[in-house]
Amino acid sequence: MKKNSVHSLYLNLSKASSGRKFFIAFLAGLLSIFALPPIHFFLVLFLTIPTLIWLLDNIDDSRISFFVGWFFGLGYFLGGLYWIAYSFFVDADQFAWLAPFAILALISLLSIFIGLVTLVFSKFNVFGSGRALIFSSVWVIMEWLRGHIFTGLPWNLIGSSLTFSDELIQVSSIFGAWGLSFFAVLSFSFLGCVRPKFLFKNPSYTTIPFLILIILWCGGHARLFFAEENFFPNIRINIIQANIQQEDKWIPENREKIFFKHLEITRDSFKGRVEGEDLELFIWPETAIPFLLDGDRQVVQIIEKNIPENGFLFSGGVRQERIQNSETSFWNSIFFFNNTGEKIGFYDKFHLVPFGEYVPFRKIIPFKKITQGLSDFSSGDGIKTIHLQNIPSFSPLVCFEAIFPGKVADRLDKPKWLLNVTNDAWFGFSSGPYQHFAGVKLRSVEEGVALVRAANTGISAVIDSYGRVVNRLDLLTEGYIDTYLPKPIESGTFYGKFGDRVFFVFLLILFLFIKIKNKLQGNKIEKY
């Protein structure tokens, strides 16, 4: 693009009317979704994020600055989270009418965080490379807040656009997913934060965004080059993916069929092997057993007959328990069975999905939850490290519990691996399951431990402690994974030891650097 055309584009964007700015921001946000999984065309962000920044110039009203970001977020989250609507059509008679209202409410709420990015960023009188650092910092701080406020939803962080590359995501071992997002935004925003006239006078600056990504890739490549691919020699992982469609899952006459289908695939997964050589872990996905297990002696006997002597069965299911006032509570759980069918432990999901598993403020909100049953699920006790016999200790995670950076492992009782069971059948063949898988993949890099994932309709996988996929089953396929359990990184990772503190210390140092740099330079302002 020629000098005059770039400058003309900048002037058209910066001097546009507020209504036009809102419309362009919305289109830029919508276009940005092509950077997300499964497409991963991240180059589009070199266009859309600078566009967002240029739209903020020549604005005197803070409200307009906010709404430029809000409309960008509206496009970004509409395109990135459209698939949530699929869940409302599983039971269309009851919930289909709610889909447009729920999606609009959700994306409007999430867009506030990008609106706050543009609002706060517009208050800084920092120029040059420091401007890109400020924008990146503010963006990631808002992503962090989005992941923590209320129930939190750190979905489709900008850093997820880089999860196609094992090399690029290795920085997460130091700074977490927040650091990956920071460097991604820094790269994408740089050309928008440096003045066009300055860039044309100093064309070498146009290489900096790509240099950032190259440095990330080289650092990640070096880390992977020296990484050893170690496995527990006697711990075998058997992941069962039965590919049960959500509309079929809870039909009473299907429940027995679904249970036996999981058993059939389980038997196939170890057929022909000599018993006693390895310890076998059979992993079934979230709510794989579509009925209550308590007191069902027949199920115990069936498990005993179908699990080898050296085997264990881990399965998602619904747990119930009567409390003192005779009311019954329900949990979305993982059950742990030994080869005799004895339940030797369980884990209750604690990070529940609003309106999916419970209705917040139920007394004043007259809606049903989308999942089966009239009663809300109860919340579990929190993150746990499970210790079972000869099995390496692990941290269980149900569904989207695995998307929260720094919230998947007990730092005082560090697990050897992560277990994630999920059911993404709610979202069919959409981008949702791919986005979910991309986010989960980062947990392995952050914590330096393997992640074993069993998904009802996919994507099931075994991921090693460097985020590399050892084996996987694609979306909407039936089958099993049979492989050994990868070992953790013995020394751990910076992020695994210190969590978000590492990234925020980094940001503090960065802000001090910017402040000192501006003071020394006198914060000179170049004109366009």
Q: What does 348-383 look like in DSSP terms, one character per residue? A: E--SPPBTTTB-TTTTT-----SSSSSSPBPP----
Query: Is residue 373 located within the same domain as residue 418?
Result: yes
Residue 337 phi/psi, 5-degree rounding, is -115, 145
Enumerate residue ranges in the chain where pLDDT < 50: 523-528
State the helix-helix crossing angle for 208-225 and 172-193, rounded to 10 degrees: 160
Query: Is residue 411 located within the same domain as residue 359?
Result: yes
Query: Is residue 400 located within the same domain as residue 258?
Result: yes
Query: Is residue 362 located within the same domain as residue 468?
Result: yes
Q: What's the per-residue H, E or C state across 219-279?
A: HHHHHHHCCCCCEEEEEEEEEEECCCCHHHHCCHHHHHHHHHHHHHHHHHHCCCCCCCCCE
Query: Is residue 356 located within the same domain as residue 264?
Result: yes
CA distance 159 to 137: 13
Place of tokens 């003192």: 324
Q: Which distant-in-sequence residues (6+ apart) come within 8 Å of 329 by Cβ? A: 320, 321, 322, 323, 375, 378
pLDDT at position 23 is 96
Told to judge if 414 belongs to the known catalytic residues of this protein, a careful annotator would answer no
pLDDT at position 363 is 63
Query: Is residue 293 located within the same domain as residue 419?
Result: yes
Query: Is residue 144 located within the same domain as residue 244?
Result: no
pLDDT at position 116 is 97
Catalytic residue among 143, 286, 401, 446: 286
Residue range(s) defining the domain that contains residue 10: 1-123
Query: Is residue 341 located within the same domain as residue 277?
Result: yes
How confident is the model over 28-70, as pLDDT tens digits?
999 999 999 999 999 999 999 999 999 998 898 999 999 999 9
Query: Is residue 140 located within the same domain as residue 257?
Result: no
Catalytic residue among 21, 167, 280, 349: 349
Other beta carbons less than 10 A from residue 340's beta carbon: 12
DSSP string, 388-444: ETTEEEEEEEEGGGGGSTT-SS-TTS--SEEEEEE-GGGG-SSSHHHHHHHHHHHHH
Query: Is residue 76 located within the same domain as residue 138?
Result: no
Told to judge if 526 belongs to the known catalytic residues of this protein, a careful annotator would answer no
Total domains, the chain: 3
Query: Is residue 246 located within the same domain as residue 143?
Result: no
Q: What's the per-residue H, E or C state across 136-166?
A: HHHHHHHHHHHCCCCCCCCCCCHHHHHCCCC
Told to judge if 349 belongs to the known catalytic residues of this protein, a careful annotator would answer yes
CA 354 vs CA 152, 431, 445: distances in Å? 10, 21, 28
Pairing of strands 231-241, 279-283: parallel
CA distance 451 to 444: 6
Domain end point (choices 108, 123, 138): 123
Catalytic residue among 167, 357, 399, 447: 399
Place of tokens 């600078």: 50
Do the beta carbons of residue 352 and residue 333 sit within 8 Å? Answer: no
Query: Is residue 91 located within the same domain as residue 158?
Result: no
